[in-house]
Structure formats: C-alpha cells, structure tokens
C-alpha cells in the first residue's frame, strides 16, 4: 500500500506555485519593459504589413519594442512613447475604454485572455504641426505637413484613398500637444485618425520593429 507523505506533497505544491509565480512575473516584466509579440488582423497597413482576420496563420507576426519607453523613463522620469514620423505604432484607439479592474490590468500586462482592441498605424503628424489631406485634380491624394507635401513611398497607392468629407478629420488643423495623427498605409481601407481624430500619447503600447513570421515576410520595419 502506498503511504501518503503530507510534507512531500505540500512541498511539491509550493514548488509548482513558486514556478508559476516566477513565470507570470517574468512575462509581465518582459511585456511591460522589453518586447511583446503581436499579429496583424487586417490589411490596413498593406503593402508594409499583411493581415487577414479570417486567415490568421498567414498574417504577419511582429515584434513590438518598449525600449523607447524605458529610455524616456530613465531620462525624463516618464514611461511614455515619443515616436518619430514614420514609426509604425501599436496603440489603443480613443474609442476603447481601458478597464482598470485587477483582472483587466492583469490580462493587459500578461496578454492572457486580453480582449482589448489594439490598432497598428503609422505616425504621420506630430504635436504642434499643421496637417491637411488634399486631393489633386487627377484624383491623387496627398498629406501636407505645415504646407509641404509629405513624401510617402510606403503607401499602397495615392489614388486609392477614401475621399474626405465634413465628418472626417482631413484638416487643415493644428495637432494638439501630446497628440499624434495616425494613418494606415492602405489609405483606401484604413480606419484611422481621419475618422476618429488625433491620438493621445498615453494610448501608445509600443513600436513595431520586426516581422518574424511568415519567413518569406521577414523584415525590419523603419
């Protein structure tokens, strides 16, 4: 007959709990201060990034860095992103209300059962800049920053643009301090700042720096 060893069982349980706690803390530290992995659910950033919510296995997987936040924490005492124009950023859009319950914060920190919607777009306009989106007589549409046309080689097509109307944020207007104007590279199929306005910097999660899957899409993002 097997003899139940209470002390050994108790020790084994504590060892398992200790290991689980270590793994959870490690995940939180890595995701919060270093990197996290994301997948692209839509085609709004094509041709730079490929995404398809119905075929997730073929969508791009990316590495999102938090190092720039760490740098600002050390140098400025503020844990925040200060992206440059052209950076591809992950963020929570203004329409998403971030829950502050312990379970919601835990999910956000670890990525476990986290269902808060995040977007990926490119930084186009910076705080304090005057932005305007204008269409030429031939149908081509361009972004103007402080009156100068922005050179955007990454866009899908300057002719494939959603036409601006009075309900959209196409300018001209000055981007408020602490806010950014975000746009997808696939301008005809991107729900971005043209529709919901400028993005507060507090909403940034991190910067996309590398595509690691699928292998034929490997690239460093500028």
Enzyme catalytic residues: 44, 121
Structure tokens of 19?
């290991």
Structure tokens of 1?
């007959």
> What is the rounded distance in angstroms from the CA atom of residue 180 to the CA atom of residue 198?
5
Hey, which residues does 91 pair with through a beta bridge? 119, 204
CB 121 within 8 Å of CB 45: yes
DSSP helix/strand/coil, 168: coil
Residue closest to 184 by CA, chosen among 195, 175, 173: 195
> What is the rounded distance in angstroms from the CA atom of residue 84 to the CA atom of residue 124?
9
Which DSSP state fits 77?
Answer: S
State the Cα angle at 124 between 118 and 127, rounded to 5°.
95
> What is the rounded distance in angstroms from the CA atom of residue 68 to the CA atom of residue 78?
11
Residue closest to 51 by CA, chosen among 221, 217, 222, 174: 217
């Amino acid at each position: 007959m097997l003899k139940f060893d209470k002390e050994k069982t108790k020790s084994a349980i504590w060892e398992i709990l200790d290991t689980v706690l270590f793994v959870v803390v490690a995940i939180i530290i890595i995701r919060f201060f270093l990197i996290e992995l994301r997948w692209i659910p839509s085609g709004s950033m094509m041709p730079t990034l490929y995404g398809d919510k119905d075929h997730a296995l073929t969508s791009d997987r990316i590495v999102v860095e938090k190092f720039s936040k760490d740098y600002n924490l050390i140098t400025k005492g503020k844990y925040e992103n200060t992206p440059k124009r052209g950076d591809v950023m992950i963020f929570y859009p203004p329409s998403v209300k971030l829950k502050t319950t312990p379970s919601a914060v835990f999910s956000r920190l670890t990525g476990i059962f986290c269902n808060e919607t995040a977007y990926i777009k490119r930084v186009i306009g910076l705080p304090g800049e005057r932005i305007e989106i204008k269409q030429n007589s031939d149908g081509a549409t361009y972004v103007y920053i402080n009156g100068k046309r922005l050179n955007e080689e990454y866009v899908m097509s300057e002719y494939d643009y959603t036409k601006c109307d009075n309900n959209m944020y196409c300018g001209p207007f000055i981007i408020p301090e602490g806010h950014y104007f975000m746009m997808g590279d696939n301008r005809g199929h991107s729900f971005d700042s043209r529709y919901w306005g400028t993005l507060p910097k507090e909403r940034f999660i991190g910067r996309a720096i590398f595509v690691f899957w699928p292998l034929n899409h490997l690239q460093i993002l500028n």
